[in-house]
Structures are given as structure tokens and as C-alpha cells.
Chain A
Amino acid sequence: MKTVNSSNNIWLEVLRYSVKTAFKSIIHEKWINLLTVLTVSTGLTILSAFIMINTNVNSALQRWAKNFGVVVYLNEDASKEDEFILKKRFSEDADIENVNFVSKDRAFEEIKKTLGPNALILDVFNENPLPSSFEFRLKSNSLVPSVVKQKAAQIGQWPGVQEVQYGEKWLASLNTIVNAMKIVSIIFGTAIFIAVTFITYSTIRIFLHRRKEEIETLKLLGASRSFIRLPFLMEGLFIGTMGGALSSLAIFGLYSFTMYKMVEFLPAIRFIVSSLPLYVYLIIPAAGAAMSLAGSFMAIGKIRY
């Protein structure tokens, strides 16, 4: 039952009204809004700076992990068939890449090359004392100590295998660093999420309180739930997005400044410190918007209607 001629698109009008009301409030309550935006952007800047450091450490670790190799030494009496089967098994294993067979003779040649003129000492051996071996690398996602250990033990059982060697300690410390970073990231991210959400929540609560009478009157006039709530959500959305945008600017500034200053002393920094990927600069405002929206939602949940 409609008593006045409503426009065809009620939702569009409610949205238009909400945006208008939100902007009026943003201007009217400019100081508290500015303060909230700045606080949100500080939180997000800290988070993004952390992400930037994390990305850089991670890529350094990736590069480092590339050098992790496993060497499988073969028995003196390993047959051609053993070699063939081993080679087949290694190349079929999805975790293994860059498989390389170093024959007894080639190992001898290489050591001779390394020793150069001192190679004469090798003459004391009647025979070539070096074993044949397989060398390979593991994909970075399978560089977990327990996995590698298990794999090495398994390979050690295969016919023709004398010994499996790899940098066990090195791998353990790499793993510790990666895990620590993961945990710190989760804790840090959660803390910032809670902080930003809570800041917006408090600000929207203040606005709700200040506009309590207005809300009561709106209810009596028959305003729908969304008509009352949407302006507050819009304001929260604005706070989060602005906070995020400011933070993106700050991060970009921080990065540019660091590069500019550091390159003077350490030209190689250009290759070590990578910038944040471009999409991150868009994700920060989006994340801010999402966090603030969550806070606003929690705040307007207090409106009983």
C-alpha cells in the first residue's frame, strides 16, 4: 500500500540519501573523522611496511633456498641398471628438479681440474676412489625438514645407494625463519585488523550516540532499517578507504625515500629490495574499507530496530 508516488528505484534513492547524509556528517564531524582516518592509516601503514619487509625477506629466502641441493652417492658395485632405475625414480618425483648424474670418471676429471697442477697427488691411487653420484634440487615448497629427512631416508634404502647428503642444519634454520615469519605475520595482521576495526567501531558508536534523537525520530517516521543504518556504513566505508589510500601514499613515499637514500651507499640495494607489487597499493585501501566496514557493522548492530 503506497500513499505517495514513490520513485521506481527506491534503493537508488536510499543509497543517494545515505551517501549525502554520510558526506554531511563527514564535514560536520570533520575533526573526529580526520583523527579516525589518520589512526586507521597509521595502522595500515605499519601493516604495509611489515608486509613490504616480509615480501623482501621471503624473496631473499626463496633465492637462498634455490641453492639447496641433495647429493646421492652410489655404491662401488652399483650396476648400470641401478643407475637407470634411480634416475627414473628421481625424474618422476614431483618434488625433485634439476637431476644431474655425475659419473665416477667425471667426478675424477672435475677434481683433477680443481686441483690443477697439484693433481699429481691423485697418482697415489691406483684406481679412481670417487663414487658416482646424483645431484638434484628440491622445489622450495617441499623444503620442510621432516619431509626432506624422510625422503633422504627412503632414498638411502634404494638399491645401489651408499649415502644421501644434504644440509640438514641449514634447512632447519631456514625453516625456523620461515615459520617465525608466518606466525609473526598472522599475529601482526590480526592485531592491526582488530585495531582498525575497533577504531572505526568506536567512532561510529560516537556518531550513533550523537544522533540518537535523530535515529529515534527517523524510526517514528517509518524509516526502514537500511535507511537508518546505511549512512553510518557509508561513513565507515569512507573512513577505511581514505585511511587506506593515505597509507598507500605513505608506503610509496617511504619506499621511494628509502631507495633514494640507500642507493647512494649501497647501489646493489636496487636488486635486493623489491618494491611492493602494484596491486598491493590497491589492496591497502580495500583492506581498510573492509576492516572499517566490519567495525561499522558491529557498531550499528547496537541500533535496536
Chain B
Amino acid sequence: MIVFADVTKRFGKKAVLDSISINIKKGDLLFITGPSGAGKTTLLKLIYCSERPDAGHITVADWEVSRLSQRGIPELRRNIGIIFQDFKLLPNRTVFDNVALALSIHGMNPGKIRHYVNEVLEEVKLMDKANLFPQFLSGGEQQRVVIARAMVSKPLVLLADEPTGDLDVDNAKAIMELFSKINGKGTTVLVATHDETLFQGSGYRVIYLNDHYIEKEYMG
């Protein structure tokens, strides 16, 4: 589903990722971990074409991401759900509208949108906050809105960048259960985190990034 073949990414002279190769199969759930600045976010950005590699090849499903033209990017992104480290919620839209946006861009009609958004807000337990603006939500609640927005279109791939950064242990556990559930339905899930408790003893594959290469790979 996602293949990195000898991918190198530099910022200026400094290589953040140096000749990285990863093979993620359809339906996998996988963790990317490593210290701050190791390149976890950069790795995810390469998948959704927010950054382009300096060398190597990246493929996601049928897309040759490393060769994708500007015009091809929107369609790729519509098939990837992204939980951004910095949320990227729109402050002038309600929780409902923020989540609905991910379906509007698919050209879905308002009736269907309402159905799917309500369903996903139920799942992240935010039904009662649907009509609030993001700034009136706690950090953890905002985090769950972002998760809802990423899930609602039932994407092929779900990318989560520090999805539990603002959550307490119980909420973090709930989110992980949500991810397992989505993964169980066939979505490939990639979680970038430095929170070891998320994967310890989970049995999921873990990739440890350090000093611009993959230092180790093991089962959590």
C-alpha cells in the first residue's frame, strides 16, 4: 500500500531522511517513533505530497507519489485521512462544519454529509459539541475533531501525527481502540508518535527513526 524505496529528503544540506526503505502492506497498522526532530512528520508529509523527496521512489496504492504532478495531488489527498500534529482546524467553522468539509470536497450532497458526520462525531463522542467553534473546545476535544475529520471519508490510508499528544491515558487508549477498529475495516494506519505507551505490548510493527535513518524495527 505504501512503499518507500531509498528515499532521501534534505532541508538545505542537511538530510532529514537518508535512503529510507519501508514497505507497508494494505491493512497494516504501524508506528513510526523516534526522538523529536527525527523526521517523523517529514516522512508523513512525503506520503501526502506536502514535501517531495530529493531521491528515491514513493508509491501509495496506485499513485507514484514521487512523480505525481501538481494536478494529481488533490485526488491522492482525498484518499488519505490526515491527523495533523498542529490540528489545522478552521476557527470560523463549527465542529460539524470542520468535519463536513472533508466530505464536501468529495462533492457529496448535504444529506449524506449530515449522516456520515453525525456517525463519526458519535464515534469520537463529540455529538454534544457539534455546533461549537473549535476555540471553545479543550485540547483533547480538538484532537478528536481532527481525528473525526480524517476518518469521516473512510480513506484508504490514515496518517496520524502525534494523535494523543494532548490526551490523558484513558482518552489515548480510546483513540487507539478507534484506530484498531478502523484498521479492522481495512484502512492502512500509520501513527507517528514518541509516546511509547501507545505501542508497547500491542504487537504492532514499530519503526524507530533516529539520526536520519531507520535505527531499528520491531514488534511492539
Contact = CB atoms under 8 A, between A and B. Distances in A.
A218 B101 contact: yes
Given A218-B101, A220-B48, A305-B70, A4 B77 contact: no
Interface of A: 1-7, 9-11, 13-14, 16-17, 28, 213-214, 216-225, 227, 305
14 contacts: A3-B78, A4-B116, A6-B108, A7-B108, A10-B107, A13-B108, A13-B109, A217-B88, A217-B90, A220-B77, A220-B82, A221-B77, A224-B74, A305-B70
Contacts of A1: 61-62, 79, 156
A134 B167 CA distance: 104
Nearest to B98: A217
B107 A7 contact: yes
Query: Could you say which of B84, B105, B155 has the most chain A C-beta atoms within 10 Å of its C-beta?
Result: B105
Given A4-B153, A7-B107, A227-B105, A222 B77 contact: yes
Contacts of B74: 219, 222-225
Given A217-B88, A220-B77, A222-B78, A6 B155 contact: no
B106 to A, nearest CB: 5
Nearest to A305: B70
A218 B101 CA distance: 8
B154 interface: yes
A223 B112 contact: no
Nearest to B155: A3
Nearest to A214: B90
CB-based closest 6 A-B pairs: A10-B107, A222-B77, A222-B78, A13-B107, A7-B109, A223-B105
B49 to A, nearest CB: 10
B112 A3 contact: no
A221 B105 contact: yes
B130 to A, nearest CB: 18
B90 A222 contact: no
A223 B106 CA distance: 8
B88 A14 contact: no
A11 B107 CA distance: 7
Given A4-B153, A17-B104, 14 more contacts: A1-B61, A1-B62, A2-B106, A3-B78, A4-B103, A4-B106, A6-B106, A7-B109, A217-B88, A220-B77, A221-B102, A222-B76, A225-B71, A225-B74
A214 B90 CA distance: 6
Contacts of B154: 3-4
Given A10-B107, A222-B105, A5 B88 contact: no
Contacts of A221: 77-78, 82, 101-102, 105, 149
Contacts of B149: 221
Contacts of A10: 106-107
Query: Could you say which of A9, A16, A222 has the most chain B C-beta atoms within 10 Å of its C-beta?
Result: A222
A221 B74 CA distance: 8
A11 B106 CA distance: 10
Contact of A7 (B70, B112, B153, B156): B112
Contacts of A305: 70
B23 interface: no
B50 interface: yes
A6 to B, nearest CB: 5
B97 to A, nearest CB: 10
Nearest to A4: B153
B108 A4 contact: yes
Interface in B58-95: 61-62, 70-71, 73-80, 82, 84, 88, 90, 92
B194 to A, nearest CB: 23
A268 B68 CA distance: 73
Nearest to A28: B92
Nearest to B63: A1
A224 B153 contact: no
Contacts of A11: 107
Contact of A3 (B104, B105, B153): B153
B2 to A, nearest CB: 15
Contacts of B75: 222
Query: Could you say which of A9, A217, A225 has the most chain B C-beta atoms within 10 Å of its C-beta?
Result: A217
Contacts of B103: 4
